[in-house]
């Protein structure tokens, strides 16, 4: 079963029609969105061809009073069912999380839209706590899982994962080479199978990023970064990945989206976990 997944931080923009027109031009089955304002969610859900969706702030309206004007959302096209969805509970910023179970062609898959809160806006070490909670949740998955997220990291997206530079140790635990979970960055999975493309990137940008999804730099916005990613569990084969940065900015956001085509192997059996901490 093939699924077209898009992850995008839509920056709380008003022109949902412009954004959805762009998304439709790419083709999609599931949208994993960040920074969706509550009063704009219905604009996404009422768009032609949309089969359903949900937003984290629907479940947590209390968070609107806590200087948070937007949250995560999941949108599915017609023909795909969103069976259930809810934000995480024991995290510093629950409105930036939404997990859901979708059913396509009779098969259930778990999806999630996530964001790590930016430390620059006062979240500081709570960003690290959020990352650790994500790692726990990914490691405890019970279905094939696809996560779209705004990491607000790394400092350096090096072609070699071991040489990436992170802002917090918790980010390295979640995104680095030795995580507790089995999720994988789809772009790195794709490049592993296409080493000639990785070699070309490393030659052009020896220190990265592998692609551009955001211009960072303490208000200057002059440093290309790859904050936005899609992670997938090993049941999925990554067939294609795109980072249309300039077109995304033109369509209405300060983040570029991530588009991927995944093929689910329904017969795949994940390995039993290998990293266990003795209890006694």
5: tokens are: 């997944």
pLDDT reading at 33 higher than 50: yes
Residue 59 CB partners (closer than 8 Å, separation 6+): 86, 87
Q: How high is the pLDDT of residue 156?
A: 96
Burial environment of residue 242 by CB neighbours within 10 A (0 to 12, 13 to 18, 19 or more): middle
Q: How high is the pLDDT of residue 270?
A: 79
Q: What is the mean pLDDT of residues 220-248?
A: 95
How much of the chain, in percent, has pLDDT values that exceed 70? 94
Over residues 133-163, the pLDDT tens digits come to 999 999 999 999 999 999 999 999 999 999 9
Q: What is the DSSP letter of 156?
A: B
CATH of 2-264, one of 3.90.190.10, 3.50.50.60, 3.20.20.140, 3.60.10.10: 3.60.10.10
Burial environment of residue 89 by CB neighbours within 10 A (0 to 12, 13 to 18, 19 or more): exposed
Q: How high is the pLDDT of residue 120?
A: 65
Task: Name the band, by pLDDT with cuts 50, 70 and 90, for residue 201.
Answer: very high
pLDDT reading at 182 higher than 70: yes
- The predicted model scores a pTM of 0.95
To 10 degrees, what angle do helices 245-252 and 16-26 make? 150
Over residues 63-72, the pLDDT tens digits come to 886 666 899 9
Over residues 235-276, the pLDDT tens digits come to 999 999 999 999 999 999 999 999 999 999 988 887 776 655
125: tokens are: 């070490």
Over residues 56-90, the pLDDT tens digits come to 999 999 888 666 689 999 999 999 999 999 999 99
pLDDT reading at 118 higher than 90: no
How much of the chain, in percent, has pLDDT values that exceed 90? 84
More confident residue, 267 or 175: 175
Residue 56 CB partners (closer than 8 Å, separation 6+): 71, 72, 73, 87, 94, 95, 96, 97, 98, 113
Q: How high is the pLDDT of residue 273?
A: 65
Q: How high is the pLDDT of residue 278?
A: 47
Domain assignments of the chain as residue spans, ordered by start:
2-264
Helix, strand, coil tally for the chain in percent (to 5): 30, 30, 40
Instruction: Give the span between the Cα atoms of 101 and 45, in whole angstroms.
Output: 17
Q: How high is the pLDDT of residue 68?
A: 63
Q: How high is the pLDDT of residue 219?
A: 66
Q: How high is the pLDDT of residue 4?
A: 98
Q: How high is the pLDDT of residue 82?
A: 98
pLDDT reading at 174 higher than 90: yes
* Pairing mode, strands 145-150 and 107-115: parallel
pLDDT reading at 124 higher than 90: no
The mean pLDDT value of the chain amounts to 93
Q: How high is the pLDDT of residue 121?
A: 65
Q: How high is the pLDDT of residue 14?
A: 83
- Residues shown for the chain: 280
Instruction: Give the span between the Cα atoms of 130 and 175, in whole angstroms.
Output: 13
């Amino acid at each position: 079963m093939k699924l077209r997944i898009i992850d995008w931080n839509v920056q709380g923009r008003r022109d949902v029609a412009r954004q959805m027109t762009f998304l439709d031009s790419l083709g999609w089955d599931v949208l994993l969105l960040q920074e969706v304002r509550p009063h704009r969610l219905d604009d996404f859900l009422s768009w032609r061809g949309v089969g359903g969706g949900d937003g984290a702030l629907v479940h947590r309206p209390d968070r609107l009073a806590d200087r948070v004007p937007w949250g995560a959302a999941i949108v599915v096209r017609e023909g795909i069912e969103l069976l259930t969805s809810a934000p995480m509970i024991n995290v510093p910023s629950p409105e930036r999380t939404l997990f859901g179970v979708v059913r396509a062609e009779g098969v259930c898959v778990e999806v999630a839209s996530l964001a790590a809160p930016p430390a620059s806006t006062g979240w500081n070490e709570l960003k690290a706590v959020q990352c650790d909670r994500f790692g726990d949740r990914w490691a405890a998955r019970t279905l094939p899982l696809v996560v779209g997220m705004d990491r607000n990291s790394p400092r350096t997206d090096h072609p070699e994962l071991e040489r990436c530079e992170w802002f917090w140790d918790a980010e390295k635990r979640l995104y680095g080479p030795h995580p507790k979970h089995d999720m994988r960055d789809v772009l790195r999975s794709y490049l592993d199978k296409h080493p000639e493309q990785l070699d070309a990137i490393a030659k052009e940008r020896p220190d990265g990023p592998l692609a551009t999804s955001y211009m960072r730099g303490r208000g200057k916005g002059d440093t290309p970064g790859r904050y936005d990613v899609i992670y997938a569990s090993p049941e999925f084969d990554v067939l294609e990945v795109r980072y249309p940065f300039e077109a995304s900015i033109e369509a209405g956001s300060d983040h570029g989206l991530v588009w991927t085509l995944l093929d689910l192997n329904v017969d795949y059996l994940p390995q039993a976990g290998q990293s266990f901490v003795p209890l006694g």
